[in-house]
Structure 1
Amino acid sequence: MDALTPNSASRPATPVPARVPLPYWVRDFALVRPAVITFAVAATLSIACAVASYWQLVAARNDEARARDARDAARRSYVYVESEKQEIRAYQPLFVELQRRHFVGVENRLDWVEAIRLIQERRRLLPLTYEIEPQQPYKIEGRLATGDYQLRGSRMTLHMDLLHEMDLFNFLGDLRQQGVFTVQQCALRRTAAAQAGQGGGSAAASPAALPAALSADCTLNWLTLTPGARRTGGVR
């Protein structure tokens, strides 16, 4: 068989490469492998614990901030409620009085008409006439904080025959006890009978039998704070 193989004897032998010695830190790694594994596990756990602690700290600070905001909001609400209670104690008597005078609430013209009739009878005034226009929002100079209420007004034109000026002043003074109004304008004039001179009437005669010395034409604005009124154009 060897003779059939050509040049088998003349082939050179393949050289075997020499082994390079491994570095000592690779060659001796088996000795420190348990320590390295233990260190890696410990380092991983330490980093995980540090990250978890950091996020817990952030969450705790966020909870603290929310709790502080809630505390401040509760404190502001408490101060606001206490302030409102003090304002209610201070202004409730005035509010009740304004309700009694029909300034706060729904407009009640029947009360005004009845009040005018009673004042006329009690003061024994000469006949008077008046006309009340429809109510509408009332505008004033500047700003007025009315909350859920709206200031509304009804214009009333009034004509009175007077024996003297005090009849008008007494009438308006008594009328202020029944409501809140502003006097937009008022004009006093002497009548023709007063200018011509009074006749010899009896001092005990009734006011209706005496001639009027003056006449008054006034424009009043009855005011009402109406809850939940719709805001539209107004009168002044």
Structure 2
Amino acid sequence: MPLATTRRAGLVDQVIEQIRAAVAAGEWPVGTRLPPEAELAEALGVGRNTVREAVRALAHAGLLEVRQGDGTFVRATSEISGAIRRLAGTELREVLQVRRLLEAEGARLAARHRTAADLAELEAAMSACEEAERAADLAAFTRADLAFHQLVLRCAHNAVLAELYRGLTEVVHASVATTVAGGRCESHTGLLAAIRAGDAAAAAAEAEDILDSLLRDHTGPAA
């Protein structure tokens, strides 16, 4: 567990930041139970009250979930994601509508700013999707599909947009899993071709078409 002994000043804020960083880095994936309070306090070199206050703050922000008698669990990868989970709930339409907005703009920017290295990563990610689909491995396809869309957003080379989308990780994963379970394994061929060609308008249109199709199939006519 990559935790460093904290300084005296601002102990709670430092503990909050270290826990947040460990979650963001994947040291504690979503669903993981954190070490006991006493163990965290010893690792950080602070009192248990400091750890308790930091955990309380992160639980309020939606990053952690305290289950009485069971422990503290990671609820989301970021506060943004935690807030979105509370707002979106299980409303698939709302998640798909937000994805449409972000992914269309991400695809547009990716077509303009992608590098040769970006294209190689995108092609590898699409190959992973295709391999999972051929194997009829829905869990693998869900992971590969999510990875492809996240990569498109990173290829936009807009840090703010990428961070916003990263905050959607859990709800995007859930929406992909829901649509895949319904029998829809979306093809990325047209989207990748448009990004490869540097055609921003076509890339945005391809991204919109994918989400519009999912909206129609799973929630009725797209709004």
Q: Is the shorter-chain TM-score for this pair beyond 0.5, marking a shared fold?
A: no
Q: Could you say which structure has the higher strand fraction?
A: 1
**Which structure has the highest helix share of the two?**
2
TM-score normalised to the size of structure 2? 0.24
Q: TM-score, normalised by structure 1?
A: 0.23
- Which has the greater radius of gyration? 1
